[in-house]
Amino acid sequence: MPDGDADYPTRIRLIKSAFTKDIGEIASSSAVHASRVRKGEREIWQRRYWEHLIRDERDFEEHLDYIHLNPVKHSLARHPGDWPHSTFHDWLARGYYEPHWGSGEMPELPKWFKCSGRRET
């Protein structure tokens, strides 16, 4: 973002709009919900986005864990390292995670994650 410009909603809207126009008919779906048709929306994007300013090191770590566990949570992978598109591999190489992190029992995550478990050490 340019200095002094924190207008995230406008930036996100412009990015989504430009991408959607560029992708054209490639992303057309026959299973578009009626409410999306009425609003001129496509199936490419979520209707909303979550804007969050990282407050401190702990907040950063919680969000990093959340991102790396998302493929596991949604049954796309059994372990964060199994997801080929994950930055988990980079963080593992940096020594931030143990190789088995995210296997077996789920690590402890913040309450907003809506998942319980115990953090592995």
pLDDT score recorded for residue 86: 92
More confident residue, 97 or 117: 97
The amino acid that residue 81 corresponds to is G
**Residue 57 and residue 54: Cα distance in Å, rounded?**
8
pLDDT at 119: 39
Instruction: Give the pLDDT band (50/70/90) at residue 24.
Output: low
How far is CA 27 from each of CA 32, 46, 110, 115, rounded to the nearest angstrom?
11, 14, 35, 32
Q: What is the pTM of this model?
A: 0.55
Please list, residue by residue across 11-22, b when 16 or more beta carbons sit within 10 angstroms of its beta carbon and e when fewer do: eeeeeeeeeeee
Residues 52-95: tens digit of each pLDDT: 788 999 999 999 999 999 999 888 999 999 999 999 999 999 99
Domain positions in the chain are 1-51, 57-113
